[in-house]
Structure 1
Amino acid sequence: MIIYFTGTGNSRHLAKKVGEAINEIPVNSFEYIKERKKGSFDSDTPYVFVCPTYAWQIPHIFEKLIRESVFHGSDKAYFIMDCGGEIGNARKQLQALCSDKGFEFMGVYEVVMPENYTALYSAPDEKTAEKLIIKADKAALDAAEYIKAEKPFPDIKVGIADRLKSGIVNTVFYKFIVSADKFYATDKCIACGKCVKSCVLNNIELKNGKPVWGKSCTHCMACINFCPTNAIEYGKHSIGLRRYTLTD
């Protein structure tokens, strides 16, 4: 069984590619998280968790769902993480998660995808994004071969910098950077409500025809990237930056 979390579409795309290769229909975790539901899953085949990389770890909200859900059947767990660069020492956190949940940790597979962290970075141009996706598709198929054979993913070399990124840097990132305070809508906003629907934490509501952000945010960047008129900005950082979504 494949269970995925996605912000702007990268992880959904990979989950579908892997699903096609191993004959599994991916399960979207969006409604579980948005409605604060605990999952109860049953699978005779290994569990495959697909998600983006947030500060060199899996998203905290996705980890929370996994911890709070019940898994029957297979005790094997694979992780596929897409990223704009690399996943650091995410492996350590995932090993601990699997130990706590009674899973046999089958490894984590790193897949580079187009950057979508619009709070700081511009998305790649269309041609560059296409090249990255083509390479990512091949990586997804390679990962699927390990899953079909129920063999562990190859280990990823981890250095001191990786340990720092997935450790103290992740902690600092969530404490001081992950916030919705800098999001705002410009006069280009048409009050379509797409940002409200796309927010997995129900952190956005329309007031007087404009979106207003609350205090719960995971920086998935769905609101800013899916806005049809590019009306959402993140402070001054995102002004003029290219947006990115992957819908398929």
Structure 2
Amino acid sequence: MILYFSGTGNSAYVAKRIGKMINDEVVHLFEKIKDNDFSPLQSKRPWVIVVPTYAWRIPRIVEYWLKNTPLQGNQDIYFVMTCGGSIGNAGKYIEKLCQNIKMNNRGCMEIIMPENYIAMFSTPTKEEASKIIDRAEKVIDLAAVCIKNGQSFKHPNVSFNDKISSSVINKLFYPLFVHAKKFYVLDDCISCGKCANVCPLHNIQLSNGKPVWGNQCTHCMACISRCPKEAIEYGKHSKGLPRYTCENVKKLEE
């Protein structure tokens, strides 16, 4: 069974591509995380977790869900992480997680996809995004073949900077940067409520038809990226930047 979490579609695309190649069930964790649903899941086939990279590790909300949700049946588990640049030393912390949840870690695969973290980095144009995804296809295929053949992913080379990024910087990143204080809405807002609907943590409420952010933000960028009117900004950084969502997901489903 393939379980994925995705704010802007990168991990959704990778999960569904792998699912088609190995003919396995694909489940979005959005509703389960949103509803605090920790009911056991059952699979006779290996588990595949597809997630974005948050500060060079898997998202904490996904890690919390995995620690609290029994994955029954097959005890092998693969991790596939999408990123804009690098997953750092995420594999070390995945190994610790697998020991914690008593699963057999079959490794972690890095797949570089278009940058979606508009709060800090520049997002690509449609043309740039398309080229990046084209380059990622071979790596997605490789991940699928390994899983289908029961092969573990190869251990990536880890640099000193990778180790620092996934340890020291990750610990500082969440309290210093992962908050919703800089989100605000423009007059272009049409009060459609989509931002609230796509938030995995019930962190957005509508007040007088306008979104108000709470204190549980995980920086998935779903609200700002999926707003149909591009009426949400993040401080000054997001101004003028294209809103990125993975259009290939729709093409895959056609």
- Normalised by the shorter chain, which TM-score bucket? over 0.9
The answer to whether the 8 Å contact 1:50/1:80 transfers is yes
1:189-200 matches, within 5 Å, as 189-200=189-200
Partner of 1:88: 88
Match of 1:18 in 2: 18
Is 1:157 aligned with 2:154?
Answer: no
Where do 5+ consecutive residues of structure 1 fail to align?
A: none
Structure 2 residue 128 is the aligned partner of structure 1 residue 128: yes
Tell which deviates more after alignment, 112-121 or 80-89: 112-121
Note the C-alpha offset of 1:122.
2.2
Q: Which residue number in structure 1 is paired with residue 53 of structure 2?
A: 53
Counterpart AA for 2:2: I
1:2 equivalenced with 2:6 (yes/no): no
Cα separation, 1, equivalents of 2:191 and 2:156: 45
What amino acid sits opposite 1:205 in the alignment? Q
Please provide the CA RMSD for this pair. Answer: 0.8
Write out per-residue CA displacement over residues 151-200 of structure 1, whole angstroms, 9 at most, x where no aligned residue.
11011100111010000100100011000011010111111100000000
How far is the alpha carbon of 1:39 from its aligned partner? 3.5
Whole-Å separation in 1 of the counterparts to 2:39 and 2:92: 24
Question: What corresponds to 1:242 in structure 2?
Answer: 242
**CA distances 1:110-132 after superposition (whole Å, capped 9, x unpaired):** 00000000112221111111111
Partner of 2:174: 174
Deviation string 1:185-235 (CA, Å, 9 cap, x unpaired) is 011111110000000000001101210000000000000000011110011
Aligned residues: 248
Q: CA deviation at 1:150?
A: 1.0
Structure 2: state its 5+ residue gaps.
none
SS in structure 1 at match of 2:176 = helix
> For 1:188, what is the secondary structure of its paired residue?
coil
| AA aligned opposite 2:51 | C
Q: Could you list the runs of 4 or more consecutive aligned residues of structure 1 that deviate by over 4 angstroms after TM superposition?
A: none
Identity %: 48
Using structure 1 for the length normalisation, give the TM-score.
0.98
37-46 or 6-15, larger mean C-alpha shift: 37-46
- Distance in structure 2 (CA, Å) of the matches to 1:39 and 1:24: 20
Aligned in 2, Cα 1:91/1:234: closer, same or farther, shift over 3 Å? same
Equivalent residue, structure 2, for 1:29? 29
1:229 aligns with 2:229: yes
Q: Deviations over 1:36-68 (max 9, x none)?
A: 110311111110000000000000000111110
CA contact (8 A) 1:122 1:243 kept: no
